[in-house]
A and B are shown apart, each in its own frame.
Chain A
Amino acid sequence: MNPYLAVAALVFMVSLMFMLPLVPALLELRRKSDALPLNVVQQHAGEIRHFANSFRTYIHGLEAILQHCVASGSTATGALPDGEEYVVLGRADEPLLLALEERDTIHPVLIAAGVDLVVPPEATFSRDIYAGGQFIGGEKNNYRAILGEKNVHLGVSSRVMRWVHAVGQFTADLGCKLYGRVSSDSLIRLHAECSFLRLNAPRVEIGHATGNSNPTPAEASNGPGTPSRFLHDGDFEVKAGEVFGSGMVIRGNLHIRSGARICGSVKSTQDLVLEDGVAVEGSLIGARRMFIGPNCTIHGPVVAERELSIAAGTRFGTLDHPTTVSAPRIEVEEGVVAFGTLWAREYGQVVASR
């Protein structure tokens, strides 16, 4: 073979191999098929009521039909502009409810009721439900999403797959599973054996709360405004009844004994244990597991990076100073009250008080 030709062939082959990965690159550069900026949510802030608000806007077109059905006590069916089928109920004892009363059936229509809505047990509602009045669900129901303009009550062992918002009170009976967002403008109450992910209301009661239901405003959170901190490397213990005058950062395990009071925020980089009746005026942050004993009072946000266990009688935040309690996994006893948000990123479970 001609050596010049061989060199040329070699150069050609090498160039070809070099250029090969550039072909899709050049095509993409020319076509710009994926050149938009990454989607950054600009308009909302991840509010828990986002889906409920969107749904309210979505069914706005049914308002006239709802009013008509309520006024005439009639029922209407049809489809929204996007093809979503709906049933509008104007009376609580609506004849069409008979169709809903079949057990173990799936109801693939959006249900909008202008009045109180009582749904039968053991049914699956695979489309969103709007209740202009009270919503009372039967036992063992499965829901996609519910928006209630008044109180919403779920029967024993019901499941919600996406979200619930109640303008009034929200109550979940024994053993409900709440997989998405649950919010209320007044109160959320979960009974034993309920599981949850994200709850938000001015007041969230786990089981029947007893004792001081709203800590005094004088104990309000001082949040990140607290300038002074005690920094300690290694495990640390706060003695029973001790009043600690500043916030603390403990780079180790932290054990706060019964009745101690921390006048600031608390951080532990390992496990954090609060015994009975501990009061923390600021936030409570634990980089691993956190155990909050009975009758504690925490005013600022609570974050446990791994697990959080909360005993009966504990209070988080106040009505005037709501807060967030957050961890991937939360186990909470009946008798706990949180003012604000209770958020289990992976799994939250209500257990009976010990």
Chain B
Amino acid sequence: MIYVLYSIVLVICVYTGRHYWFTLNRLFGFQRHPYIDIDTADWPPVTVLVAAHNEEKVIANILDALMTVKYPADKMLVIPVNDRSTDRTREIIDKFVEDFPGRIQSFHRIEGKGGKAAALKDAMELVTTEVILIFDADYIPGAGLIKQLVAPFFDLEVGGVMGRVVPLNAGTNLLTRLLDLERSGGYQVDQQARMNLRLVPQHGGTVAGVRLSALREIGGWNENSLTEDTDLTYRLLLNGWKTVYQNRSECYEEVPEVWPVRIKQIMRWAKGHNQAMVTYGLHLLLGKHRATLRERIDGTLLLGVYAMAPITLLGWALALGVFYEGVAPLHGVIALLSLTAYAALGNLAAFFEIAAAARLDGTRKRVCLLPFLILGFSVSIFSVSRAAFSQVSDLITGAEFHWDKTERFRKVL
């Protein structure tokens, strides 16, 4: 039992070190923003796909914003992918198509498999441009965002691009404020450090882009994936394409305002991520492909992020068990120290990352909320563990994954 615990502590220490490495790189290392200065170019035609499933509360905002971005109007086509909506989404989209002829093309999907990947896959029949950008319907792109997301595609090695997500409803309540901090840590530090260190920035599936030829080469959207973004990241990587992160390409989004919605969201992410881990993990680490050694290691660690929650829970249980079982004193002390070390360092590493992100963002007081992150952390660890267990039980019982859309909170226009 103690050796299992040692192994768990070792893995936790690796993740802790990773957090510190990323944070220190972000604070003191060389920052890579290679494509952000491309402001003049022969801009290529681009298709913007807006994934929409029952989005009457938000769809008009994003279509409005896209019609005012600074990108040659004759080179940008917006396709709202209306996936079997039962609310007013279709009506709103059709009104925009009417108001902006030639600039918005509707795609109303009335049947087929559920999920964003399946909807995007069907919408590909309308896409003819080499560069495709993807937004979820609750996002509000700024005037310069489209150019910024297109610019990296001038690099022939780039297959995918990811921008930064910023919560618009950050100040609503404790949950949104905690999610705001988490997003800061995740993007401002984690993603940018991976970009700096030439590791594996993750494609987020929204505020993002993909190269059509790369997408075709890897077999298109995987409709069986619960998180098509993670799936896309790894298939691009395994086929010699890079995903790049653009920290200065920021876009507002709406984060969940109630805990049940947040729990559902993180459980879906966990399931999708774990699904990708099972599918690509071993091949990424040991297989024959074009990823570099550092990409193999970082990519594997990234795949294991959501598996760490149940592993940590198991570690806690084992540590307590070992302690109360009264194993050899030395072992008992080591086990106790291990547990304490995790509590002191492991948690703090993530907190340190978020605090550094808050500083880099130039915020002042929101970092005071850091202690409350223990609440978000606790909810996450149990939700993600629950997702992992249900995934295993689904595997045994043969139950199918199903896709849960995240509820919106914006007032209907």
Binding site for B on A (CB under 8 A): 21-22, 24-25, 27-29, 31-38, 40-48, 200, 220-221, 223-227, 229, 231, 233, 247-249, 264-267, 269, 282-283, 285, 287, 299-301, 303, 305, 317, 321-324, 326, 340-341, 343, 345
Contact = CB atoms under 8 A, between A and B. Distances in A.
A28 B355 CA distance: 15
Given A21-B371, A38-B166, A226 B156 contact: yes
A39 to B, nearest CB: 9
Contacts of B45: 225
Nearest to A320: B42
B290 interface: yes
Contacts of A27: 368
B371 A22 contact: yes
Given A28-B366, A226-B156, A233-B290, A341 B39 contact: yes
B206 to A, nearest CB: 15
A40 B154 contact: no
Contacts of B250: 38, 40-41
Contact of A41 (B144, B169, B171): B144
Contacts of B35: 303
Given A43-B142, A322-B40, A225 B130 contact: yes
Contact of A303 (B37, B130, B171, B177): B37
B252 A40 contact: yes
B95 interface: no
A34 B252 contact: no
A247 B156 contact: yes
A247 B158 CA distance: 13
B329 to A, nearest CB: 25
24 contacts: A25-B369, A34-B363, A34-B366, A36-B170, A37-B252, A38-B250, A40-B252, A41-B143, A41-B144, A43-B143, A45-B70, A45-B144, A200-B40, A224-B153, A265-B156, A267-B157, A285-B156, A285-B157, A301-B154, A321-B42, A323-B41, A324-B39, A340-B41, A343-B37
Interface in B136-162: 140, 142-144, 147, 150-151, 153-157
Contact of A324 (B41, B144, B153, B252): B41
Contact of A38 (B37, B213, B290, B361): B361
B365 interface: yes
B411 to A, nearest CB: 16
B38 interface: yes
Given A27-B368, A28-B366, A35 B38 contact: no
Contacts, number: 171
B168 A223 contact: no
Contact of A45 (B143, B166, B364): B143
Q: Which 10 A-B pairs have the closest CB atoms?
A: A45-B144, A35-B171, A34-B365, A224-B153, A340-B40, A326-B37, A283-B154, A28-B368, A42-B142, A24-B368
B2 interface: no
A50 to B, nearest CB: 11
B339 to A, nearest CB: 18
A324 B290 CA distance: 30
Contacts of B42: 220-221, 223, 299-300, 317, 321-323
A309 to B, nearest CB: 17
B177 A29 contact: yes
B413 to A, nearest CB: 17
Nearest to A326: B37
B115 interface: no
Nearest to A250: B157
A283 B37 CA distance: 14
Interface in B354-376: 361, 363-366, 368-372
B50 interface: no
A20 B35 CA distance: 45
A341 B170 contact: no
Given A25-B370, A28-B369, A34-B366, A265 B171 contact: no
Interface of B: 32, 34-35, 37-45, 65, 70, 130-131, 140, 142-144, 147, 150-151, 153-157, 166-171, 174, 177, 180, 184, 211-213, 240, 250-252, 290, 361, 363-366, 368-372
Contacts of B361: 38
Given A40-B251, A341-B39, A285 B154 contact: yes
Contacts of A36: 170-171
B140 A42 contact: yes
Contacts of B41: 221, 223, 300-301, 322-324, 340
A344 to B, nearest CB: 9
B8 to A, nearest CB: 26
B156 A249 contact: yes
Contacts of B212: 227
Given A40-B142, A229-B156, 11 more contacts: A41-B250, A42-B140, A44-B143, A45-B147, A46-B39, A223-B42, A223-B43, A227-B130, A227-B213, A231-B290, A305-B32
A221 B38 CA distance: 14
A37 B35 CA distance: 26
Nearest to B154: A283
Given A38-B361, A44-B143, A224 B40 contact: no
A21 B374 CA distance: 12
Given A285-B154, A303-B34, A224 B131 contact: yes
B372 A25 contact: yes
B240 A231 contact: yes
Most buried by A among B171, B211, B240, B369: B369
Contact of B154 (A43, A224, A248): A224
Contacts of B150: 224
A349 to B, nearest CB: 17
Contacts of B156: 224, 226, 229, 247-249, 264-267, 282-283, 285
Contacts of B32: 305
Contacts of A25: 368-372
Most buried by A among B153, B174, B180: B153
Given A40-B250, A42-B143, A34 B372 contact: no
A282 B154 CA distance: 8
Contact of B170 (A24, A37, A200, A247): A37
Contacts of A247: 156
B369 A303 contact: no
B154 A345 contact: no
Contacts of A282: 154, 156
B315 to A, nearest CB: 22
